[in-house]
Structure 1
Amino acid sequence: MESNSGKKANCPKGPRYYVTGAVMNVEEDRTHEFKGHRNIAIEEIPPWCIDATDKHRKTRNCISRNICGFLNSGLGGIIYLGVLDDGSIAGIFLSRYQRDHLTLSLKDTLGRFRPPVPSHLVSIDFVPCVDLSDVNYRQVAKRCGSEKSGNVSDDFMREHSDAKDIDNSTARGNSLNDDAKNKSLNDCDNNSGGWDWVLEKVDITDLPREIKYKNDPLRKRPHLLRTYKQCWCDDDAITRVTHGHRSPPYVVEIIVRPPDARDPEIRKHLPSSSELLLQPIFQAEDGSIYVRRHASLARRSLQDMVEEAVEDVRRVYFPILKEVQIHLGILEALVEKIETLRVNGNGSDDTAMDGKKGVDLLRRIKQIL
């Protein structure tokens, strides 16, 4: 991420991560949503988070609502799990098995949408979180116009005293502010004495690592889905913590892409007689239809969506029908003129010309339709 939430904007190279405690460089809007939990489906919301007098009032809402809203808005969006409402990055501690659980839960929930959401429209990415003190940079010297680079030598750094405040081997993210680092690098480049070498800052932050087992049988074990109760993967993570092995934190990015009315994976669930290319509408697994409105969700009824579809048809297809009607009127007049000339037995040249015009009009109508 090119922000204070992850990789620095002036450090394009290196691993991708988020910094715990930093603030996102985006706010919740029509295409971004922050969530501090990982409850995908409606069944995963604990009962103590639901108002007994009103089932629609919850202190925690499932993530599937936001996925549905992004799909129906036609714009798509990204949901960040592990980011609080104020934009601060907290991360969610997830083991390898819990990440598998989250991926399976997302796939299962999307399959219960109406129509089912094609797999290429929604993807999930687990981005690790690190502490600011663990962010690490290295300065390398790179020849202009070349991809080759090497570590900055002590002699090179001593000759360019303007860069003396930058550590020769590494520069931690909290040792100098970004403005001071950029100024030192720029001054070093401007005073290179005619050399065709430039300094480049490379991110070498070590990301959290987990022990990986080849052909791990536990990854094939079924998970407990569609419930708020703990799965075996949660019990496994708790056991690991008690033995001093805490899983690393992640920000989980759920990327929702805008659906296309021409997508065959969507059209196969529509009636075969439907030829209108309108914005697809998805119904979440809880039976509700959600539409993203700026930084919030609007629950819409089926009747509301039908009325909007009718308005879309009028807006898109009425101008086309009007144009076809005009051309049909001209074509009818030409046919009538041809018949009149044929009955009178004269005007063969005019008849041929009018016939050609009629053929061109028919081609035009086919192109419009």
Structure 2
Amino acid sequence: MCCIIPTGLALPHNYNIALHNWELSINVRLPLKMESREKYSKDTYYVLGQTISHEEDLLHEFKGHRNISIHDIPSHALASAGAKERTRNAVSVSIGGMLNSGHGGTIYLGVADNGQVKGMTLTRYQKDHIEVSLSWTLGRYTPPVPESRYSVIFVPVISNKNQTLPQKIDEFVDPKRRSQLHHVAQSNYCWCDTDAKARKDIGKLPMAYVVEIHVHPWEPHRFKVSTDPLDTLSSFLPPLHLTEASACFFRQSCRQLRLCLEDVRRLLVHRVQEHYTLKVEALQNEYKALQCLAQKHSIKILPPVHHNTDDRGTKR
């Protein structure tokens, strides 16, 4: 099974849906606008076996696999009999936690839990697959994640510090083959994985990479609540996203906490209270500044009017 999609779900025009045995196999082509998203610098690389300087924390997560969606997790990575949880979490869980925290962060694919760089060999087609899978998965979030909230960088991995990294990584790419649809949201191999295996079998090993998925902080003032009294609430509170599996996660330290409905309510109440507390402080400071200005010019300012309200918040 690739993925069960609810009846009536609208999909973008570039999604080819093939019905087979009452299931939907999802095939996605790399949009042309995504071809320029990859960044590469000859001065940026990792050394195989090196240990990354920072540990897993609020802003950094290490992954030894590239299962983006929960549907990508293979059966052998599922929990053993009697256990309720998977032995491997999809990358989307970490992305969801970082998005909902508002602070963002970076997920490193190809780095072990202890911070040691392992890398993962990827052909151009497999790199396309990762970008396609990310786009499809984050497009299934509620609300969908805009492309401005994340970026992907493929950083080469070299065997030792003395190795010279070429200015351009040469790899034959067939444009017609690259335009093929990728099979996402499934644990089976895509055609790009079969192609990569065939290359390895004849001794053509692709470059190894660490894939950095950067989740950008909530942009309005970098998640700092605005002190401008005229700014609206909705513009400065980051949205809470549900993943493609309709679960809500929140990044705390180096873990993702799964939030229940009550947790979400408390988080929203806290954010709203913090927002309006700073608003009130800003208004009080502005009022004091106006008082000082009025005294300087001998202008009398009437004191603020306090309205009494009943339990329902109605003025009396």
Normalised by the size of structure 2, how large is the TM-score? Answer: 0.69
Choose which of 65, 71, 90 in structure 2 pairs with 1:62.
Answer: 90
Distance, in Å, in 1 between the alignment partners of 2:172 and 2:198 is 18
Task: Specify whether residues 128 and 324 from structure 1 end up closer, same or farther in structure 2 by C-alpha distance, changes over 3 A only.
Answer: closer
**Superposition deviation, residue 228 in structure 1:** 0.5
Task: Specify whether residues 281 and 104 from structure 1 end up closer, same or farther in structure 2 by C-alpha distance, changes over 3 A only.
Answer: same
Match of 2:246 in 1: 287
Are 1:93 and 2:53 counterparts?
no
Choose which of 38, 44, 48 in structure 2 pairs with 1:20.
Answer: 48
Are 1:116 and 2:148 counterparts?
no
Q: Spell out the pairing of 1:302-321 with structure 2 (5 A cutoff).
A: 302-317=261-276, 320=279
Choose which of 177, 197, 200 in structure 2 pairs with 1:218.
Answer: 177
Find the residue that maps to 1:79 and give its secondary structure: strand
Match of 2:71 in 1: 43
Distance, in Å, in 2 between the alignment partners of 1:239 and 1:303 is 51
- Deviations 1:134-182, CA, capped at 9 Å, x for gaps: 435xxxxxxxxxxxxxxxxxxxxxxxxxxxxxxxxxxxxxxxxxxxxxx
Choose which of 137, 159, 166 in structure 2 pairs with 1:131.
Answer: 159
Distance, in Å, in 2 between the alignment partners of 1:323 and 1:15 is 46
Find the residue that maps to 1:132 and give its secondary structure: coil
Find the residue that maps to 1:297 and give its secondary structure: strand
Distance, in Å, in 1 between the alignment partners of 2:79 and 2:208 is 30
Task: Specify whether residues 274 and 100 from structure 1 end up closer, same or farther in structure 2 by C-alpha distance, changes over 3 A only.
Answer: same
Distance, in Å, in 2 between the alignment partners of 1:313 and 1:81 is 35
Match of 1:242 in 2: 201
Task: Specify whether residues 301 and 251 from structure 1 end up closer, same or farther in structure 2 by C-alpha distance, changes over 3 A only.
Answer: same
**Superposition deviation, residue 260 in structure 1:** 3.5
Task: Specify whether residues 252 and 26 from structure 1 end up closer, same or farther in structure 2 by C-alpha distance, changes over 3 A only.
Answer: same
**Superposition deviation, residue 75 in structure 1:** 1.2
- Deviations 1:28-49, CA, capped at 9 Å, x for gaps: 1110111000000000001221
Unaligned segments of structure 2, at least 5 residues = 1-40, 223-231, 287-297, 306-316
Distance, in Å, in 1 between the alignment partners of 2:167 and 2:280 is 60
Find the residue that maps to 1:290 and give its secondary structure: strand
**Superposition deviation, residue 234 in structure 1:** 0.6
Q: Spell out the pairing of 1:102-181 with structure 2 (5 A cutoff).
A: 102-132=130-160, 134-136=162-164
Q: Does the 8 A contact of 1:40 with 1:106 survive in 2? A: yes
Find the residue that maps to 1:240 and give its secondary structure: helix
**Superposition deviation, residue 296 in structure 1:** 1.3
Matched to 1:31, the amino acid is L
Matched to 1:212, the amino acid is F
Task: Specify whether residues 299 and 56 from structure 1 end up closer, same or farther in structure 2 by C-alpha distance, changes over 3 A only.
Answer: farther
Task: Specify whether residues 107 and 307 from structure 1 end up closer, same or farther in structure 2 by C-alpha distance, changes over 3 A only.
Answer: same
Distance, in Å, in 2 between the alignment partners of 1:109 and 1:257 is 17
Distance, in Å, in 2 between the alignment partners of 1:33 and 1:293 is 12
Matched to 1:238, the amino acid is K
Task: Specify whether residues 56 and 32 from structure 1 end up closer, same or farther in structure 2 by C-alpha distance, changes over 3 A only.
Answer: farther
**Superposition deviation, residue 89 in structure 1:** 0.7
Q: Does the 8 A contact of 1:40 with 1:109 survive in 2? A: yes
**Superposition deviation, residue 55 in structure 1:** 7.5
- Deviations 1:193-235, CA, capped at 9 Å, x for gaps: xxxxxxxxxxxx437833334x611111000011001110011
Choose which of 286, 290, 301 in structure 1 pairs with 2:260.
Answer: 301
Superposition CA RMSD, Å: 3.2
Are 1:84 and 2:112 counterparts?
yes
Task: Specify whether residues 281 and 133 from structure 1 end up closer, same or farther in structure 2 by C-alpha distance, changes over 3 A only.
Answer: closer
Distance, in Å, in 1 between the alignment partners of 2:238 and 2:109 is 27
Normalised by the size of structure 1, how large is the TM-score? Answer: 0.59
Match of 1:333 in 2: none
**Superposition deviation, residue 314 in structure 1:** 2.6
Match of 1:171 in 2: none
Task: Specify whether residues 59 and 208 from structure 1 end up closer, same or farther in structure 2 by C-alpha distance, changes over 3 A only.
Answer: farther
Q: Does the 8 A contact of 1:24 with 1:87 survive in 2? A: yes
Q: Does the 8 A contact of 1:101 with 1:223 survive in 2? A: yes
Q: Does the 8 A contact of 2:233 with 2:275 survive in 1? A: no
Q: Does the 8 A contact of 2:42 with 2:167 survive in 1? A: no
Unaligned segments of structure 1, at least 5 residues = 1-12, 137-204, 264-272, 328-352, 363-369
**Superposition deviation, residue 315 in structure 1:** 3.3
Distance, in Å, in 1 between the alignment partners of 2:168 and 2:158 is 8
Distance, in Å, in 1 between the alignment partners of 2:180 and 2:156 is 25
Find the residue that maps to 2:183 and give its secondary structure: coil
**Superposition deviation, residue 57 in structure 1:** 1.1
Structure with higher Rg: it is 1
Q: Does the 8 A contact of 1:93 with 1:248 survive in 2? A: yes
